[in-house]
Homo-oligomer: A and B are copies of this chain.
């Protein structure tokens, strides 16, 4: 069935208000909404995402190339087609990606409620101070690829539903369940209380990844490159490192998460 499209000619049309001034709102927030960019991420949001999509906005010139995607959009989601005048109001933004959507955050999960819903066999990731959108996006992409059941994120880490984090994650932050709040020590306590073996990653870890076998309920914590996890956390937990060769012992935290999760997800 061909999609039903709503042409928008007036940039002040209230139906597309959420799309205007995209970059400015990255900073001041967008009140319970988030932005999805591009065909691949939107496909993921529609097929695997846990959040409601409120509407879709597409440039006139992209209607034909993206016809297949549009045909699969549920009729309950309005698809707005933007003219030049509207595109100009989302200025500075790469609308050449051709398609945007607005999603609704809904009620955020608490760490406690996320853990209460975990299955008997579960792999959980805990993040401390991951303030870089590329890194949090990259970590979530790995979590989704290796079937992580949930991500607990401390308050010092950035928002997984920030526009760039969603894009870098290839939509994974819309797929893998997460809860954000508190500090990593609190999150660690909650994991232990729910019967998880909690592993801490650190370049100074006492064991290597190869020493660690997958368990029924397992969680692995990652800290920011540089500061890493707090010392108080490292001393309480099994800590693991990746063996590197030569004098260059530096790995990106998202890459580290990929290596560790590939190992534990077997």
Contacts and interface: CB of A to CB of B under 8 A. Distances in A.
Interface stretch (A67-75, A87-95, A139-147): A139-147
Contact of A47 (B172, B244, B247): B247
A142 B255 contact: yes
Given A259-B259, A259-B262, A262-B259, A141 B246 contact: no
A251 B47 contact: no
Interface residues of A, number: 36
A200 to B, nearest CB: 18
B251 A265 contact: no
Contact of A145 (B171, B248, B258): B248
Contacts of A265: 245
Interface in A252-266: 252, 254-256, 258-259, 262, 265-266
A234 B24 CA distance: 46
A137 to B, nearest CB: 9
A48 B247 CA distance: 8
A170 B226 CA distance: 13
Interface in A15-45: 44
Nearest to A210: B266
A249 interface: yes
A207 B251 CA distance: 26
A145 B249 CA distance: 5
29 contacts: A48-B246, A134-B134, A138-B252, A138-B255, A141-B251, A141-B255, A142-B251, A144-B246, A144-B250, A145-B242, A145-B244, A145-B245, A145-B248, A145-B249, A145-B250, A146-B244, A147-B244, A147-B245, A170-B250, A171-B248, A172-B250, A209-B262, A210-B266, A245-B265, A252-B254, A256-B258, A258-B259, A259-B259, A259-B262
Given A146-B245, A258-B258, 20 more contacts: A47-B247, A48-B246, A134-B134, A141-B255, A142-B251, A145-B242, A145-B244, A145-B245, A145-B249, A145-B250, A146-B244, A147-B245, A170-B250, A175-B248, A242-B262, A243-B266, A245-B265, A252-B258, A256-B258, A259-B259
